[in-house]
């Protein structure tokens, strides 16, 4: 995803950490396999009537297990009330307190699949946002990131418990409904309402499970690599919207060719009311409603969200501190798309801008990319996860070379698709493919905060340069530094030195007298000159 504005997203901050506090314990007890969600929406009220069939297996047997579902609160009247819960047609006891449903299973066995039918209703506090769009039309859009899904359906709201999902959406017949997966059925129920049945074939995390119900104009723009691509926009500005998302096929192709097979059954780009700039919901990406302009100005946003289909949605981070495996990847793979289609200069300009952003951010916030302390997940949508994560991949690509980098990326994706990975899992794949020890690299750039801040002095003598590079920051880094040695006649040569000490002299041979030295001429190092 891409935030619209940090201040805007922070404004919406609420208790995101509560529901995940005990997820580790819960994941050791149960594994959710499938959600079957029947949901009725209408125009007379924001209340939804729903039935969730949650299929799961027990890993351990306890007297009860817990799902997340936001309670109805007496002040706002919003939240969900559960009517009944059945385990394979047998009524079971439950409590619903503090946004947790605690269910007492009947005679469960480990490894056997049980389905819990949960009938509930209420006005979603969040997660499924029911509002009017910029044209004044009523819309219903899921917007779950990071863990807002349990505002509208019972689930384990954590990215590491993936499941397949299907939706039976009943809505007034002038609306269209989109959701993850493929359209199994679209039927008229009576002369006023329609049923849409969407279903996924592969497991996805709750953060990217959504439905969207609105008046849409839909354009099917054909298939690429057997993936149908479509655009869903508000009818009032459909020509502009169709034009804006017309680049999706080209972007999709680029990633399929370089990363691997597309993980889902369709790609739909959807104008929506998401609070984010773009939200990468699996197979149907939601974009902020003002993004439609008719001027193709959001190609990088579209590329970012499409890259997430592989990284974030299919190969997902195992836990929130590893979110750079989503956001850093989506940011850097967008840059690689830009490099291919907009050229080297556009690519290098992005890298330079991102490097400046990282340097400025560090002046305010000194946390490492892998941030295990922040529990307000919205705050992880920061420069470390996006720009610095992208820069780590860029340096890794320079470290390994293009061939091993791409081979490693493809191997990582194949190993962790439809699953979850940690940063160590990623490191191990890249190390195995390249035959390099990457412990120091991953440790210094991801687990430690900061970056090299370099001071230098040099003298020329007898076709040699003696240069002293000093690392002025607290934590020492180990990295190659390229130098552009500029001769008196304006010609130049590139030499590289390895920096690992606080301050050490290097003797660099040259082919003539030097008048100037430039650091990192090819934009390969995340550093700050002093
Ligand atoms: Zn993103």
Cα of 292 to ligand 1 centre, how many Å? 19
Distance, CA 250 to ligand 1 centroid (Å)? Answer: 19
Alpha carbon of 329 to ligand 1 centroid (Å): 8
CA of 503 to the centre of ligand 1 (A): 38
Whole-number Å distance between alpha carbons of 83 and 250: 48
What is the distance between the alpha carbons of residues 449 and 97, in angstroms, rounded to a whole number? 40
**How far does residue 167's CA lie from ligand 1's centre (Å)?**
25
What is the per-residue pLDDT for 425?
A: 98
Gap from CA of 388 to ligand 1 centroid (Å): 13
Instruction: Please give the distance, rounded to the nearest whole angstrom, from the Cα atom of residue 492 to the centre of ligand 1.
Output: 39
340 C-alpha to ligand 1 centroid (Å): 20
| Ligand 1 centroid distance, CA of 449 (Å) | 22
The Å distance, Cα 26 to ligand 1 centre, comes to: 27
What is the per-residue pLDDT across 481-504, written as a single tens digit (0 to 9) for each?
999 999 999 999 999 999 999 998
- Ligand 1 centre distance from Cα of residue 286 (Å): 12
DSSP code per residue over 308-348: HTTBTTTEEESSGGGTHHHHHHHHHHHHHHHHHHH-HHHHH
Contact 330, 337 (CB under 8 A): no
Contact 68, 80 (CB under 8 A): no
| Inter-residue contact 336 to 311 (CB < 8 Å) | no
Question: How far, in Å, from the CA of 314 to the mean position of ligand 1?
Answer: 14
Helix (H, G, I), strand (E, B) or coil at 528: strand
Which tokens is 393 given?
A: 């991949």
If you measure from the C-alpha of residue 331 to the centroid of ligand 1, how many angstroms do you get, rounded to a whole number? Answer: 7
The answer to whether the pTM exceeds 0.85 is yes
Mean pLDDT of the chain: 95
In this prediction, residue 5 carries a pLDDT of 59
- How many angstroms is it from 1 CA to the middle of ligand 1? 3
Ligand 1 geometric centre to CA of 330 (Å): 6
Nearest CA to 369 out of 407, 405, 329 is that of 329
Distance from the CA of 415 to the center of ligand 1, in angstroms?
21
pLDDT tens per residue across span 183-239:
999 999 999 999 999 999 999 999 999 999 999 999 999 999 999 999 999 999 999
* 303 alpha carbon – ligand 1 mean position (Å): 10
Quote the ligand 1 centre to 381 CA distance (angstroms): 8
317 Cα to the center of ligand 1, angstroms: 13
pLDDT for position 22: 74
For 305, phi and psi rounded to 5 degrees?
-70, -35
* Nearest to 268, CA basis, from 307, 239, 233, 296: 233
Interhelix angle 248-258/324-342, rounded to 10 degrees, is: 110
Q: What residues pack around ion ligand 1 (CB closer than 5 A)? A: 1, 327, 330
C-alpha of residue 310 to centroid of ligand 1, in Å: 12
Cα(306) to ligand 1 centroid in Å equals 9
| CA–centroid distance, residue 385 to ligand 1 (Å) | 9
Residues β-bridged to residue 76: none
CA proximity to 409, closest of 353, 336, 348? 336
SS3 state at 436: coil
CA distance 62 to 483: 63
Closest by CA position to 120, among listed 86, 165, 90: 86
- Both tokens of 438, joined, read 């990457």
pLDDT in tens, 105-155: 999 999 999 999 999 999 999 999 999 999 999 999 999 999 999 999 999
* pLDDT given at position 9: 43
Q: Which two tokens stand for residue 301?
A: 């946003």
Residues 6+ apart with CB under 8 A from 48: 39, 40, 41, 121, 122, 123, 124, 128, 152
What's the 97 CA to ligand 1 centre distance in angstroms?
33
Reported as half-sphere exposure (CB side, CA atoms, 13 A), residue 204 has a value of 32
- 2 CA → ligand 1 middle, Å: 5
User: Does residue 146 have a cis peptide bond before it, meaning omega lies within 30 degrees of 0?
Assistant: yes
* Residues whose CB falls within 8 Å of the CB of residue 137, separated by 6 or more in sequence, listed in order: 214, 215, 234
pLDDT of residue 17: 42
Q: Can you list the positions of beta strands (E) in 19-123?
A: 30-40, 48-58, 65-68, 79-87, 90-91, 94-97, 100-103, 113-123
> Could you tell me the distance, in angstroms and rounded to a whole number, from the CA of residue 247 to the centre of ligand 1?
18
**Distance in Å, CA 192 to ligand 1 centroid:** 38
Cα 15 to averaged position of ligand 1 atoms, centre (Å): 21
Neighbouring-strand partners of residue 185: 197
d(CA 166, ligand 1 centre) in Å: 24
What's 70's DSSP letter?
Answer: P
Say how many residues make up the chain. 530
Question: In angstroms, what is the span from residue 366 Cα to ligand 1's centroid?
Answer: 22
- Which residue ranges of the chain lie beneath pLDDT 70? 5-21
Q: Are 245 and 302 in contact (CB under 8 A)?
A: yes
Phi, psi of 47 (to 5 degrees): -75, 135
């Amino acid at each position: 995803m891409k935030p619209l504005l940090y201040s805007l997203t922070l404004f919406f901050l609420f208790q995101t950490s509560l529901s995940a506090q005990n997820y580790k314990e819960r994941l050791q007890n149960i594994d959710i396999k499938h959600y079957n969600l029947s949901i009725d929406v209408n125009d007379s009220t924001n209340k939804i009537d729903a039935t969730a069939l949650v299929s799961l297996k027990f890993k351990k047997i306890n007297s009860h297990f817990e799902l997340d579902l936001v309670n109805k609160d007496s002040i706002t009247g919003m939240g969900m009330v559960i009517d009944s819960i059945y385990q394979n047609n047998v009524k079971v006891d439950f409590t619903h307190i503090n946004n947790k449903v605690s269910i007492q299973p009947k005679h469960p066995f480990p490894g056997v699949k049980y389905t819990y039918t949960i009938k509930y209703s209420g006005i979603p506090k969040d997660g499924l946002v029911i509002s009017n769009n910029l044209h004044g039309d009523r819309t219903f859009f899921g917007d779950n990131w990071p863990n807002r899904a349990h505002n509208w359906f019972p689930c384990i709201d954590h990215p590491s418990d993936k499941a397949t999902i299907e939706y039976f959406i009943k809505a007034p017949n002038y609306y269209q409904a989109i959701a993850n997966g493929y359209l199994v059925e679209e039927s008229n129920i009576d002369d006023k309402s329609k049923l849409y049945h969407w279903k996924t074939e592969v497991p996805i995390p709750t953060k990217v499970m959504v439905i969207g119900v609105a008046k849409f104009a839909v354009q099917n723009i054909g298939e690429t690599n057997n993936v149908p691509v479509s655009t869903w926009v508000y009818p009032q500005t459909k020509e502009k919207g169709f034009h804006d998302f017309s680049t999706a096929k080209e972007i999709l192709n680029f990633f399929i060719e370089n990363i691997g097979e597309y993980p889902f059954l369709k790609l739909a780009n959807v104008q929506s009311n998401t609070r984010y700039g773009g939200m990468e919901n699996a197979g149907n990406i939601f974009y902020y409603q003002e993004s439609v302009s008719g001027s193709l100005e959001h190609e990088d946003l579209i590329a970012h969200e499409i890259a997430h289909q592989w990284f974030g949605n299919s190969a997902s981070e195992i836990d929130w501190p590893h979110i750079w495996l989503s956001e850093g990847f989506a940011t850097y793979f967008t840059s690689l798309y830009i490099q291919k289609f907009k050229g080297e200069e556009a690519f290098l300009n992005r890298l330079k801008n991102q490097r400046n952003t990282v340097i400025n951010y560090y002046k305010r916030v000194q946390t490492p990319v892998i941030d295990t302390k922040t529990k307000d997940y919205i705050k992880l949508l920061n420069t470390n996860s996006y720009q610095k994560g992208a820069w780590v991949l860029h340096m890794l690509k320079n470290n390994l070379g293009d061939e091993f980098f791409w081979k490693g990326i493809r191997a990582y994706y194949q190993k962790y698709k439809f699953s979850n990975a940690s940063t160590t899992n990623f490191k191990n794949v890249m190390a195995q493919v390249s035959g390099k020890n990457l412990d120091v690299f991953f440790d210094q750039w991801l687990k430690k905060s900061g970056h090299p801040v370099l001071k230098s002095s040099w003298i020329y003598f007898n076709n040699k340069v003696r240069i002293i590079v000093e690392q002025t920051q607290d934590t020492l880094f180990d990295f190659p530094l390229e130098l552009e040695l500029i001769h008196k006649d304006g010609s130049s040569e590139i030499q590289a030195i390895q920096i690992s000490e606080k301050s050490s002299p290097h003797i660099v041979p040259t082919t003539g007298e030097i008048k100037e030295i430039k650091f990192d001429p090819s934009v390969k190092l995340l550093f700050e000159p002093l």
